Amino acid sequence: MGGPEQTLTPEQALADPGTDTPQGEDIKEQTPSEIDPLDGVDFDAPAEQKPESAAGPLPEDGAQQEQPDKKPLSEAEKAQKAIDKQHYKYQEEHRQHLATQQKLEEARRQLEEAQKTTRPEVPDYPDQYDPDFETKMKARDDAILAANTWDANQQQLQQQQQEVQQQQAREQMQEVQRKNTDFYTRVINEGYDADKFADSDAIVGQTLTHPVVGDYLLTSKNGPALVDHLAKHTIELSKVANMTVDQAILYMEQTIAPTLQKPNVQPIPDPLNTPSGRGVTEVKDPALEGVVFE
């Protein structure tokens, strides 16, 4: 009959003697250790290709991907970066100044509160024959302890206030030094001679003594030119000195500043003879041509 060929399992083959299984041989199931892992592998097949990403082939193992070159900053970006850095510095100094102010105010408040209280009075030493001697001695000891505590608190508060005041003075000095440094940096950048300008600064500083006016000159964009102008025009300098603070600042800002002219900064000329590094060459005199020296 031409029926379909039936495939038997190993167990069915052992049970059915009519199969093609050789006699005397047992069918054994292969254990995982007996299975050849390379069985069925076609060594002539091409090697498997590594997948490629949408952006292109992946880098080889161990190879470092090249970082894209950073775009150099423009001059405007460099200037803005420097301004931001300086602005952060000023903001930090201002924050520290405010923190010191708060500490000083708190120290003053605590000292004022403590000064409202009175120092506990210490009673005299009781009579040793007094029937309440022990009670009075204990009260006296407690009063001495309370008085000592009051003294210690007062001393601590005064010391704390003094330390905060010293810190405030140091910060104010640092602020003045910073403003002076920035001011003289602008003096040089605007083309003034620093030594000569110091004399002008002394003349104006001795006349305009109000700190608010001085701070205006240090921080104003026209500060160097205003100082130079007032030092050269002593009559106008005296006029400004006799004004109130608001009038003086307004007069310098609206009347003097628009007329100021900053010095022209002349570029340094190139040297006439550029040194080449060689020795000095001999210069021939045309009048001595043909003369033989013995």
- The CA radius of gyration of the chain, in Å to the nearest whole number, is 49
Name the residue range of residue 171's domain.
Answer: 85-186
Distance of alpha carbon 96 from the chain centroid:
14
Is the residue at 133 inside a domain? yes
Residue 182 sits in the same domain as residue 210: no
Residue 154 sits in the same domain as residue 103: yes
pLDDT at 22 over 80: no
Other beta carbons less than 10 A from residue 271's beta carbon: 7
Is the residue at 162 inside a domain? yes
Is the residue at 1 inside a domain? no
Residue 204 sits in the same domain as residue 244: yes
Residue 161 sits in the same domain as residue 242: no
Other beta carbons less than 10 A from residue 163's beta carbon: 13
Of 148 and 8, the structure prediction assigns the larger pLDDT to 148
Residue 129 sits in the same domain as residue 95: yes
Is the residue at 76 inside a domain? no
The predicted structure's pLDDT at residue 23: 47
Of 90 and 265, the structure prediction assigns the larger pLDDT to 90
Q: Which residues contact 123 (CB under 8 A, 6 or more apart)?
A: 136, 139, 140, 143
Averaged pLDDT score across all residues of the chain: 74
Place of tokens 């009781």: 126
Residue 125 sits in the same domain as residue 144: yes
Residue 228 sits in the same domain as residue 156: no
Using one digit for the tens of pLDDT, what is the confidence trace for 196-232?
999 999 999 999 999 999 999 999 999 999 999 999 9
Residue 127 sits in the same domain as residue 171: yes
Over range 110-135, report the average pLDDT. 86
- Number of structural domains in the chain: 2
Residue 89 sits in the same domain as residue 182: yes
Cα 122 from Cα 81, distance rounded (Å): 67
Is the residue at 30 inside a domain? no
Task: Answer for the pair 187, 224: CB distance below 8 angstroms, yes or no.
Answer: yes
pLDDT at 276 over 80: no
Helix axes 133-189 and 194-207, enclosed angle (nearest 10):
130
Using one digit for the tens of pLDDT, what is the confidence trace for 149-182?
999 998 988 888 888 888 888 888 888 889 989 9
Is the residue at 229 inside a domain? yes
Over range 24-52, report the average pLDDT. 51
Of 186, 210, 238, the one marking the end of a domain is: 186
Of 269 and 88, the structure prediction assigns the larger pLDDT to 88
